[in-house]
A and B are shown apart, each in its own frame.
Chain A
Amino acid sequence: MKTLKEVRCGQTVTIKKLHGEGAVKRRIMDMGMTKGVSVRVRKVAPLGDPIEITVRGYELSLRKADAQWIEVE
């Protein structure tokens, strides 16, 4: 299973499935990361975490710990 955590900077992927539950999952989905949406990893913070992505036409940063709940292809 490939997750958003492993996606290299500059790559574009499509969200396949969201894992996890409760607050974390809901928050991720509330921000627009739903099934079938394409996501581009724009930037990685200087210390390697968090990452910044483009989703639904805007920029969002999230931690790798949360990105690992997002299965992509």
Chain B
Amino acid sequence: MAVNIALAGNPNSGKTTLFNALTGSNQFVGNWPGVTVEKKEGKLKGTKEVMIVDLPGIYSLSPYTLEEVVARNYLLKDHPDAILNIVDGTNLERNLYLTTQLLELGIPVLVAINMADVMEKTGDQLNLVQLQKELNCPVVMISALKQTGIKEAAQQAVALANRSRIETAYGQFDERVEKTLERLAALLPQTIPAAQKRFYAIKLFERDRKILADLPEIPAAESIIASLESELEEDAESIITNERYLWISSMLERCYLRKKQSSLSVSDRIDLIVTNRWLALPIFIAVMALVYAVAMGNWSISIGTHGTEWTNDVLFGEIVPNAVDSLLNSLKVSSWLSGLIQDGIVAGVGAVLGFVPQMLVLFLLLCILEDIGYMARIAFIMDRIFRRFGLSGKSFIPMLVATGCGVPGIMASRTVEQDRDRKMTIMTTGFIPCGAKMPIIGLFAGALFENAWWVATSAYFIGVAAVILSGIILKKFRIFAGDPAPFVMELPAYHIPSLQNVLRGTWERGWSFIKRAGTVILVSSIVLWFLQGYGFVDGVFQSVEDNNHSLLALIGNTFAWVFYPIGWVGDMAWKATVATFTGLIAKEEVVNTFGVLYHYAGELSETGEEIWSLVQADFSGLTAYSFMIFNLLCAPCFAAMGAIRREMNNAKWTIGAIGYMCGFAYGISLIVYQLGGLLLKEVQFNFFTIVAIILLGGLLFLLFRPYREGKTLEIRIKTAKRD
């Protein structure tokens, strides 16, 4: 018979380590239905039918955070056969708080006290027999990191799952509270199983709307709740929380002896330096600079960059094309098919896979920082700055990474825990000028601004300003503002990273990227290759040598009018439009496209020096700047859009994010072109001047509009469809 065991525990309790140790490589990663919370399941090592479901790390079963709602919905509705509750032995009081709630669900619970090794070292004494008696459920000691006791714990959980009778004790609350809960339990509908009566009675008492929505109305309850509230002069939720903690304290008094720590722990001593008032920021900058240098930089220590260069120049520059070439030749395939395979698929997918080495190095370093415990410190140090823009302290990392490439940048937003902050980070990370946008800046800075230093600098400035403005504006919108959950965060003790965790984390992120290169990016590469290579010549549809006749040029011409208000007029209009479209494959393509469209036959240098004079003839300084801004801020390349889609895990949010970027880019370009043009006397006062003024006014209004955090928190979850 198949057995489902839910793994539940606080964040930082060692849950992930335990899950990895229990399941090994038999893992399935997905998302909980309807939300962006990651769901992991795995078969227990050495068994065929025992499935371990890793619940999100949670502190409580309240209705106020997404993770907690997801976890309790699963526990109540899917009813696993047993709960394996991992408890951090160095932080018993708070960890057992969740345990007191899990015990009420009518599901057998096994409590596994983790970090037995650390407890032994510090000399803390825990009377297991006594704790077992108090909780009335089996308790075992384990060390997830050292992998001691975990097999036994798993076996015991399985045995528990197979037992038919459930024995759990509930917290012994104050007599008055107990009486009230009894009266409320009596009001509950008969359909609720006896073992879950306690849970539902407490939820009824706490006025938990999410749980009560599934029950018929119980009007008699309110007066019972209110009378106890006025008697104890507290609200219902506080009464229950207080009682739980009182129970835990009294229980621990009887079975736990914490050794007084005489001196600072190693971790504390590290923190004295790392989060020191004066040293924290310099150390942070140094760590980030090192990560950047090793993964994305352009020096001899930049392992990631060397890997990427090798992949681009050798693997996808010579080895793969040559191998494919000889294969295609030997198979004697027709020229259009070999064109599709070589120029479409190999070139397109290769361009994206080239980033893999950089990303793997980067993710490896980030995983190490996370596992050591430094990530939490970053949030602690940077929170104050980023919070103003509706972002989190951890948003810094995605932004930094995005100066190299937006794709790993967006993927790095995973480390941002809060849903709102993460979504905001995903939406704004793409504004940072990535490495591939540099040639665009180079082309126009060279062609029109005599390589003035301020052009490239202003590009970065505009990118950062776009992030900040968007943050300030977006956080005021309802869809973002509804979340007043306080920022509470632990700074876990530093520890040596576990090789297994780090490698697994790196691989999971890297692999999900590679998989996408095989799907979304593959398809879009083929489509664009087709649009670029085929078209109508003299009314006949055929493959075209001259890009000007391609379907892509046709599309460019058709849509060029859209960009008229931002100054793309005259001869350059359709060229700029086409270049913007090809920029969607990869931003490097923008310069290449101009090369093709200006009929430059040879190989272009990176910044397209060869066509500078031609560009100069077509663009004015202002239109060039407008084009540059639009291309820096608008929808990122397909690879980055794919990353947005994956991280948002929701079609509406993905479209919203990309739409917002395009709209924002268009608005800013319009303001710069129309108002800048008016000042420079390049543009006459016209209808779009008024539009630009209105847009600017609207932007300033949104920017300075007062901001209020919402008072209520709505967490919506699509109910899982069960077959």
Expressed in whole angstroms, the minimum distance between the Cβ of B678 and any Cβ of chain A is 41
Given contacts A23-B713, A49-B383, A50-B383, whether A63 and B486 have CB atoms under 8 Å apart is yes
A45 contacts which of B65, B384, B485, B490 (Cβ < 8 Å)? B384
Residues of A35-73 at the interface with B, using a CB-CB cut-off of 8 Å, are 35, 37, 43-50, 52, 56-63, 65-66
B381 contact set on A, CB distance < 8 A = 45-47
Stretch at the interface among B235-243, B500-508, B661-669: B235-243
How far, in whole Å, are A58 and B385 apart by their CA atoms in the complex? 26
Whether B271 lies near A32 (C-beta < 8 A) is: no
B701-714 interface mask toward A, CB cutoff 8 Å, 1 = contact, 0 = none?
00000000001110
B490 neighbours in A (Cβ, 8 Å): 58-61
Chain B residues 113-170 with CB under 8 Å of chain A are none
Known: A23-B64, A57-B91. A29 touches B241 (CB 8 A): yes
Sorting the interface of chain A by its residue count into under 10, 10 to 19, 20 to 34 or 35 or more gives 35 or more
What mask results when residues 15 to 41 of chain A are scored 1 for a CB within 8 Å of chain B, else 0? 000100111111111111011010000
Does A28 contact B277, Cβ atoms closer than 8 Å? no
A22 touches B491 (CB 8 A): no
Contact B97 A24 (CB under 8 A): no
How distant is A13 from chain B, measured CB to nearest CB, in Å?
17
Q: Within 8 Å CB of A60, what residues of B?
A: 488-490
**B486 near A34: Cβ-Cβ < 8 Å:** no
Q: How far is the CB of A25 from chain B (nearest CB, A)?
A: 7
Contact A27 B486 (CB under 8 A): yes
| A22-B712, A47-B385, A57-B91 known; A30-B97 Cβ under 8 A | yes
Chain B: minimal CB distance from A33 (Å): 9
Which residues on the A side are within 8 Å of B183 (C-beta)? Answer: none
Assess the B93–A28 pair: CB atoms within 8 A: no
- Tell me which of B242, B383, B489 contacts A35 (CB under 8 A): B242
Contacts of B484 in A (CB 8 A): 22-24
| B39 CB to nearest A CB, Å | 23
Distance of A27 Cα from B180 Cα, bound (Å)? 24
- 8 Å CB contact of A61 from B97, B380, B485, B712: B380
What is the predominant secondary structure among interface residues of chain A facing chain B?
Answer: mixed
A28 & B486 in contact (Cβ 8 Å cutoff): yes
Q: Cα distance A50–B64 when bound, in Å?
A: 22
Residue on A nearest B93 in the bound complex, by CB:
A56
A60 to B93, CA, bound (A): 13
Q: Please measure, in the bound complex, the distance between the C-alpha atom of A35 and the C-alpha atom of B449, giving whole angstroms.
A: 65
Set of chain B residues within 8 Å of A26, measured between Cβ atoms: 60, 62, 64, 237, 241
The B358-404 residues at the A interface (CB cut-off 8 A) are 380-381, 383-385, 387
B491 touches A59 (CB 8 A): yes
Interface residues of B in 269-312 (CB under 8 A from A): 271, 275-278, 280-281
Interface string of B87-108 (1 = CB under 8 A from A): 0001111100100000000000
Determine the distance from Cα of A25 to Cα of B148 in the docked complex, in whole angstroms.
38
**B241→A30 contact, CB < 8 A:** yes
Q: Complex formed: what's the CA distance from A44 to B491 in Å?
A: 13
Q: Which residues of A contact B384 (CB under 8 A)?
A: 45, 47-50
Q: In the complex, are the beta carbons of A58 and B91 less than 8 A apart?
A: yes
A45-B383 in contact given A18-B238, A34-B245, A57-B91 (Cβ < 8 Å): yes
Contacts of B275 in A (CB 8 A): 43, 45-46, 52
Within B229-273, which residues are at the interface with A (CB < 8 Å)? 235, 237-238, 241-242, 245, 258, 271
With an 8 A cutoff between CB atoms, is B59 at the interface?
Answer: yes
Query: Any chain A CB within 8 A of the CB of B487?
Result: yes
A61 touches B491 (CB 8 A): yes
B contact residues around A62 at 8 Å (CB):
486-489
Are A57 and B488 interface neighbours, CB within 8 A? Answer: no
Taking CB atoms, residues of chain A closer than 8 Å to B486 are 23-24, 27-28, 62-63, 65-66
Cα A35 to Cα B243 in complex, Å, equals 11
B242 contacts across to A, CB distance below 8 A? 29, 34-35
Q: B477-498 interface mask toward A, CB cutoff 8 Å, 1 = contact, 0 = none? A: 0000000111111110000000
Task: Report the bound CA distance from A61 to B378 in whole Å.
Answer: 12
Complex alpha-carbon distance, A34 and B235, angstroms: 13
A65, B708: Cα distance in complex, Å: 13
Contact A30 B485 (CB under 8 A): no
Closest to A49 in B: B384
In the assembled complex, the Cα of A26 lies from the Cα of B206 at a distance in Å of: 11
Which residues of A are found within 8 Å of B62, using beta-carbon distances?
23, 26-27, 30
Give, as a whole number of angstroms, the nearest-CB distance from A46 to chain B: 4
CB < 8 Å: which of A24, A27, A48, A57 contacts B258? A57
| Chain B residues in 8 Å Cβ range of A45 | 275, 280, 380-381, 383-384
| CB-CB nearest 6 A-B residue pairs | A66-B486, A23-B64, A47-B384, A30-B60, A46-B280, A29-B241
Given A27-B486, A63-B387, 11 further pairs, Cβ under 8 A: A25-B238, A29-B241, A32-B93, A32-B97, A48-B384, A49-B384, A61-B488, A62-B486, A62-B487, A62-B489, A66-B486
**Could you list 28 A-B pairs, sorted by A, with CB under 8 Å?**
A18-B238, A23-B484, A23-B485, A24-B486, A26-B237, A29-B237, A29-B242, A31-B59, A31-B94, A37-B245, A43-B275, A45-B383, A46-B277, A46-B381, A47-B381, A50-B380, A50-B487, A50-B489, A58-B90, A58-B91, A60-B488, A60-B489, A60-B490, A61-B490, A63-B486, A63-B487, A65-B486, A66-B487
